Chain A
């Protein structure tokens, strides 16, 4: 167990280091997400009220789309020089590799989310500071669940020709309830939780996270092996 944790942290640390050096995924995906947010604004028209209402949904869509890119990129660094092959050859538990990769994906998405929040506040005129705690909690739980699913499927599709198309096709339906819960929780948090529903949405997110992390850890080896 301690060994698995050591391995997971080593993998995540390695990815974070490469990320900070190369600024491959996070930098570009933040930019991508920002553009998506801007375009949503164009698509929905100049009505500030409407934008404000749609803000939670648009923010989470931007996070989901950018997150797909980020997690895909994290796995791409493994395929560049066939590092994946060496990674698979190390005598370590496959679930430890999964946890490391998922942790790296989670970190990248969290950075992404934190970077997007002020932008959402700015563009869609939403007051985020008033509800920073529930918002932060939603962001953590939402991105964790997304990273858990996307990492599990990235390993499956990594070696496939059409992985850029296939990964979103597989991940998006699975994270549909996560998206729903995260948007609802964000909306509730911004409105001051008038119906007292925030806690149940956060619980749903937490339950999703736990289930998907376990599922990903158990199944990661089947994607990694021939």
Chain B
């Protein structure tokens, strides 16, 4: 297999496949605060969608719910038609998530961190050996492969975390402010990665404050404010809650699922 592309192709999709991301009246509460309120969006497979909005708008919460880290308080969230709350293990096989924290082990080298991730992602020994240098190369960390992550700058850590997202075979990539801490070169790298994912049909959902930059690569955008979808633009993304949000709010809709039994 020629390794011109740094991506492993995602699993093939059926013709009548469900949307890559679908949420229905999704709400997530933290104690006395609501991070997400009635979010109902659909994202078609293979699109690159920007997630925008001010701090505290609910972008990170939405990504974390889709990544199976947080469970929805009400409503439903699906990845490729799979309910994230009911079958998180199946969702995990499809999703790669870059969080604020890079989730790396400071005492291991860059290569060791990736090798560990490769094993955990189910890559074979041989595959891992091939992929790790390849991926390190792609994010510009070849020279630092043998250095401990503890000695890395924030930007280098982020590059390494990005490398981990291209290691496996995700069909959905969730990036939480991938541009943070990156130099101009690193930001260009994010652009290239996003374009590459689109080429191979991987869906990407990117929370970012770099509006200009993300606009150049994204197919569409979802804007959040106060946990509510306020605007949806572009191709391949639909807001099913838009009319309801702008008009009256009905009483808790029947699709709301209580965490508490009646």
- Which residue, A7, A17, A24, A86, has most C-beta atoms of chain B within 10 A? A86
Q: Are B103 and A81 in contact (CB under 8 A)?
A: yes
Is residue A10 within 8 Å, beta carbon to beta carbon, of the partner chain? Answer: yes
If A17-B107, A83-B104 touch, whether A89 touches B68 (CB-CB below 8 Å) is yes
Contacts of B86-103 to chain A: CB distance below 8 A: 88-89, 92-93, 95, 97, 99-103
Q: Which residues of B contact A225 (CB under 8 A)?
A: 71, 88
Q: Which residues of B contact A6 (CB under 8 A)?
A: 119
If A89-B67, A90-B121, A91-B122 touch, whether A81 touches B92 (CB-CB below 8 Å) is no
Q: Interface size on B (CB < 8 Å)?
A: 30
**When the two chains form the complex, which single residue of A7, A77, A90 contacts B105, counting CB atoms closer than 8 Å?**
A77
Q: Which residues of A contact B71 (CB under 8 A)?
A: 225-226
CA distance A91 to B68 in the complex (A): 11
CA distance A2 to B88 in the complex (A): 22
Is residue A18 within 8 Å, beta carbon to beta carbon, of the partner chain? Answer: yes
CA distance A90 to B95 in the complex (A): 9
Is residue A85 within 8 Å, beta carbon to beta carbon, of the partner chain? Answer: yes
Interface string of A67-94 (1 = CB under 8 A from B): 0000000000100111111111111100
Is residue A21 within 8 Å, beta carbon to beta carbon, of the partner chain? Answer: yes
Interface string of B207-241 (1 = CB under 8 A from A): 00000000000000000000000000000000000
Q: Are A14 and B105 in contact (CB under 8 A)?
A: yes
How many whole Å from B122's CB to the nearest CB in chain A? 7
Is residue B180 within 8 Å, beta carbon to beta carbon, of the partner chain? Answer: no
Q: Interface size on A (CB < 8 Å)?
A: 27
Q: Are A85 and B101 in contact (CB under 8 A)?
A: yes
CA distance A14 to B106 in the complex (A): 11
CA distance A24 to B150 in the complex (A): 14
Interface string of A1-39 (1 = CB under 8 A from B): 001001100100010011101101000000000000000
Interface string of A99-132 (1 = CB under 8 A from B): 0000000000000000000000000000000000
CA distance A225 to B69 in the complex (A): 7
Q: Which residues of B contact A83 (CB under 8 A)?
A: 101, 103-105
- Closest A residue to B150 using CB positions: A22
CA distance A90 to B93 in the complex (A): 7
Interface residues of A (CB under 8 A from B): 3, 6-7, 10, 14, 17-19, 21-22, 24, 77, 80-92, 225-226
Further contacts, 16 of them, CB under 8 A, given A18-B105, A21-B148, A86-B117: A6-B119, A7-B120, A14-B108, A18-B107, A22-B106, A22-B107, A81-B101, A83-B104, A86-B99, A86-B103, A88-B69, A89-B68, A89-B92, A89-B97, A91-B93, A225-B88
A-B contact pairs, 27 of them (CB 8 A): A7-B120, A14-B108, A17-B107, A17-B108, A18-B107, A21-B107, A21-B148, A22-B107, A80-B106, A81-B104, A81-B105, A82-B101, A82-B103, A83-B101, A83-B103, A83-B105, A84-B103, A86-B97, A89-B67, A89-B92, A90-B92, A90-B117, A91-B89, A91-B92, A91-B121, A225-B88, A226-B70
Interface residues of B (CB under 8 A from A): 67-71, 88-89, 92-93, 95, 97, 99-108, 112, 116-117, 119-122, 148, 164
